Amino acid sequence: MVMFKEMIDVPAILALASKLGLRVTDSKISLIGIESVQSIDNTNSKSLSYISSLDYVKVPAHSLKGLVLLPSNLIGTEYFQEISTSYIATDDPKYLFACIYHEFSKSQTIPSFFSKAEVEELFAKKCLYISEDARIARNVEVGEGAIIYGNVYLLENTRIGANVTIKPNTTIGGDGFGYATRTGYPPMKIPHFGGVIVGNNVDIGSSVSIDRGVFANTVISDSVKIDNGVHIAHNVVVGERSLIIAHSEVSGSVVIGNDVWIAPSVSIREKLKIGNRAFVGLGSVVTKDVEEDSIVFGVPAKPA
């Protein structure tokens, strides 16, 4: 949960929407104000959340609480008819959500890192090796037997399992590249509140970036192997024993199954699923889901 500096009343939100040129097509307000930002999957009576598409909503409408920002095209649907909580329907709920957060949230804080002495005291005894040049934020856990090389950054809300190796110049837990855009207005950064969970016996190469999730966590499961120069975006889940080879890019919210091989220089479009035991060939651009046990190659990637 991320708290605002103070309770925000609904008129202030409606005034901000008007300032941004956002058309409010419908609203129902039965609460005094909001105090925090929450995922649509975890709302409470004083939270703000948003829906951009029903494709990514897992909870029933009647369970929603607090104030929900909805897309105008949801009006009249069966899901909309079952919403009982307060809502504002607008043409761009994602952009409004981002602007509310930046307008009213607490000032952004710089990560607080453990000192070298604290790293030595807290981690050195259980790690096989941890470089004095590694930087570890205070809300980070590192498992037994870890090997962490120089210039590695482990940022807040990161959990590293046992027997994990992280090679130099890698960053785990930074914000993803997520922006709400609206023509004629500046792109607004989507805040990230999740973390990164790295399982046991994972190897992570040099110059790798693994972004934390927006609300949920980015997950790297047990025995995954990640080569040098790989980028893994927010909310990605990588299944057990999968290998992601050099210079591949995995976009946001991709789910990779178990025992998958991602060859060098592969690009995977956001929100796709790569089935268990799939093989994605060299330099492929994946634009559609990949079935289990399949082999795909090419631009765009197609079954071999």
Asked if residues 122 and 107 have their Cβ atoms less than 8 Å apart, the reply is no
Asked if residues 224 and 244 have their Cβ atoms less than 8 Å apart, the reply is yes
Task: Look up 234 and say whether it is catalytic.
Answer: yes
Single-letter residue type at 2: V
3-class secondary-structure state, position 285: strand
3-class secondary-structure state, position 221: coil
Contacts of 183 (CB under 8 A, 6+ apart): none
Per the residue annotation, which of 102, 192, 231, 234 is the catalytic one?
A: 234
The Cα–Cα gap between 199 and 263 comes to 22
What does each C-alpha distance from 78 to 24, 74, 81, 178 come to in angstroms? 20, 9, 5, 30
Which residues are designated catalytic? 234
